[in-house]
Structure formats: structure tokens, C-alpha cells
Amino acid sequence: MIGGTGITSFGKFLESGVRPLAEQAVTEALKDAAVEVDDVGMIFFGNAAGGLLTGQECVRGQVALRHSGLLGKPIVNVENACASSSTAFQLAHMAVASGATEIALAIGAEKMSNDDRTKPIKALESAADLDELTNLQQRISPDGTGTGSVFMDLYASVARDYMDKSGATAEDFAQVSVKQRHAGALNPIAQFRADVDVEEVLTSRMIADPITLMMCSSIGDGAAALVVMSAEAAAKRDIQPVEILACEIRSGQGDDPEARPVATAASHAAFEAAGLGPEDLSVVELHDAAAPAEYILSEQLGLCRPGDAISLLRSGRTSLGGAMPINPSGGLISKGHPIGATGAAQLVELADQLRGRAGSRQTEGARIGLAENGGGWIGNDAATATVTLLASTARN
């Protein structure tokens, strides 16, 4: 069960460090779950690139939580690229499900904004196999030199491939950003809180053809935390818990052209564990590091048939007010993408939706939510993906 959640605003907070962000998210989550510090048995702290971004290595969780009252308890530091905090959540879920503890904390926190703009770019590059970085750049860049951001070049290359296969246009990608920015405008913690139109997206600065600035997720800072507890612990408290139906993590096999995409493998495992299918979903949070990812992942997750993702968006089904909103938080494009916090933030959004407290972004009658959080790149696929299925406990 998720007993409580906490989240900071996402944005560029040059004067703030990881510690105050993590402390705020943890304090909110514990209060929301009616849990005291002494009740927590284990802590899993997700942070992707603190060593490269802030210089803090090895004991990131212990340092960030130094003044929280949690020292003395088991603190496990978790690093798994952009999937760091969804991996922390999966470990917290395993700890509770195994009986190792009744209550665990999963935290994601990242401080990416920096006076030196090259630092976050270099940190993101480290989520690929550095031994193949030059070859990767030459493969994905039309002229072999690239823009200076390997992952933006990678997203652009994937987008061009998708355009060739599906007939998608840059305007189709812009429509994703318009949808995400509208949702973000209604989310009080989002980094970008203004509606945009297709023309604004298309005419924003070109990053890597066909991806423009407003089609990209942004570097930022933030933290999110979730209290994971047993059903027995939840029953002792006056709270509205959210049921964890499945949480599956897989690594990509990007060197094998016959392998399923890692997002597909993880989602199939999660659906099988929960005894559900894509048709059962009420709301989805997926890893839209760039706008084309919504189409690609919608197909890989089985939310629509291959080639139908553009029609799915045009139908209105995946917009706010639709039958299955995708990224009602605003997604990474609008909410922001402090990489180590992203997975936990997706789960906070789903928990809010399933508890009926997402305000003007609320999905009416939300019963089942799916979060997909990818990370890194190996060969021709993400290095890892976590897929989590959650359910409202008020659904029966």
C-alpha cells in the first residue's frame, strides 16, 4: 500500500541543495500517511547523478536525510539513471511485501540546476555506455557531430525513425507538448505553468531536428517521497491508502534486434502480475523525456495498436477529461525532469488521481493507474524501465 505522499515544487532552485528538497518531501509524506519517524523501518533513497552534479557521492541518502530523524535506520542508496526513484519504490515495495518491515520510505531527489550548464549535460551522458559514446553520436547524428547533448540527439534520431514508420509530423509532436503544457498549467508543482499552442511549440528554438525546445523535458530540481506500508499498518490509521498491484523492473536488451523493447517487457510483466490489461487503465504517467516518446511508449505499453498512437491522441481519450489521460501531471515536458525524482513524482501523481485529490486535473472515477519510468540507453533501447500498477482502494 501507498499510505502517504509528498512532493516539492519542480523548478530551478540555484540557492537550494538536495537536503531541503528531500526533507520537505519526506515531512509531507510522513504526515500524509499518519506515520512517525520511529515507525519507519527502511529507507530507499533514489538519486541519479549527485556525484557529478553536486560532488556528493557514496552516502547521498544519509547526507540528505541527516536532519530528518531517520539516521540510525537502514538507508539504501539507489542509482538507476532516470529510473532511480521508481527503483527505490520497487525496493520499498519488496521490503514490505516480504515482511522485512511494515513501513518503508521511497524517496527521489535531484539537484540539476547549476551555474555551469555543461555539468548536467555531462551527467546525462553518463547514462549511456561511455565506451560506445562516440560511435553512438556518429550513428544518431546526421552529420556525425551532434548538438552537444547526446540524449537530445538520440531523441531526435528516434523521432525521425518514428516519422519514417508512422507518417508522424513535427506538428504531431507539437500536439503532445500542447497537451502536456495544458495539464502542467493546472499543476501547482509543475516547472512550466502556461498553456501554449502548436505554433509556439514549432517555432521555439530548434534543439535537434525535428525536436524543438518546447518538445523537450527540462533540467530542474525537486524531490518526491512515498510511504509504503502493509495493509495491516494502513488499517491502523485514518488514511486512504492506494493499493500496489504490481511493480516490475527490467533491463533493456538493446544489442539484440529481436528483443522486445524494455518498456514492453516491463509492462507485460506488470500486467501479468496484476491480472490486468491496458484496457483496464484509468490514468497513465509515462516517461516523455521528449514529445515523440508519448507516441512510441503508448504503442510499446499496449495502450493502442502499433501505428495508432497519433489517432489515440487526436481522439481526446488521453487528454484531461478523456477516458484515459496520459500525463495529467504535465509529464516531464511540463512538470519537469529532475531525473532522480521523476519516477517517484509519477507515482505521487497517480496516488493523487486514485485518491480523488488531483483538483482540476482529476480523472473522474479513476480506478487503475500505470506509471512507466525509463532510464539510460544501451545499444538501441533504454537501459532500464520500471512499470507500476496502482489501484484505488475505493474501487469496489
Range of the domain at 110: 2-116+218-392
| 193, part of any domain | no
Label the pairing between strands 75-78 and 2-7. Answer: unpaired
**How far is CA 285 from its chain centroid?**
7
pLDDT value for 318: 98
173 in Cβ contact with 215 (< 8 Å): yes
| 68, part of any domain | yes
185 in Cβ contact with 193 (< 8 Å): yes
247 carries an active-site annotation: no
337 carries an active-site annotation: yes
pLDDT value for 395: 47
Q: Locate cell 505554433: which residue?
A: 199
In 3D space, the residue among 245, 272, 268, 262 whose CA is nearest the CA of residue 369 turns out to be 245
Within 8 A by CB and 6+ apart from 40, the residues are: 30, 70, 73, 103, 104, 105, 227
| 252, part of any domain | yes
The CA–CA distances, whole Å, from 319 to 172, 202, 241, 322 equal 14, 20, 26, 5
| 18, part of any domain | yes
pLDDT value for 147: 77
- E-state strands within the chain: 2-7, 42-46, 75-78, 103-111, 206-208, 211-212, 221-229, 242-251, 283-285, 368-375, 384-392
| pTM to 2 decimal places | 0.97
The β-bridge partners of 378 are: 381
| 89, part of any domain | yes
| 187, part of any domain | no
Instruction: Specify the number of domains making up the chain.
Output: 1
C-alpha cell at 28: 509531507
* Inter-axis angle of helices 292-300 and 150-166, nearest 10: 60
| 289, part of any domain | yes
Instruction: Give dist(CA 223, CA 239) in Å, integer.
Output: 22
Instruction: Give dist(CA 161, CA 310) in Å, integer.
Output: 15
| 326, part of any domain | yes
Residue-level pLDDT, tens digit, the chain, 396 residues = 999 999 999 999 999 999 999 999 999 999 999 999 999 999 999 999 999 999 999 999 999 999 999 999 999 999 999 999 999 999 999 999 999 999 999 999 999 999 888 899 889 989 999 998 888 888 887 776 677 788 889 999 999 999 999 999 999 999 999 999 999 999 999 999 999 999 999 999 999 999 999 999 998 999 999 999 999 999 999 999 999 999 999 999 999 999 999 999 999 999 999 999 999 999 999 999 999 999 999 999 999 999 999 999 999 999 999 999 999 999 999 999 999 999 999 999 999 999 999 999 999 999 999 999 999 999 999 999 999 999 999 844
Q: Locate cell 518531501: which residue?
A: 25
Catalytic residue, chosen from 93, 182, 287, 337, is 337
C-alpha torsion 205→208→214→215, nearest 10: 160
Classify residue 17 as exposed, middle or buried by CB count within 10 Å of its CB (0-12, 13-18, 19+): middle
52 in Cβ contact with 121 (< 8 Å): no
pLDDT value for 144: 64
Residue 348 maps to which CATH number? 3.40.47.10
C-alpha triplet 137, 139, 145: angle, nearest 5° = 45
C-alpha cell at 95: 521490503
278 in Cβ contact with 302 (< 8 Å): yes
Catalytic residue, chosen from 58, 67, 82, 182, is 82
In 3D space, the residue among 67, 68, 89 whose CA is nearest the CA of residue 76 turns out to be 89
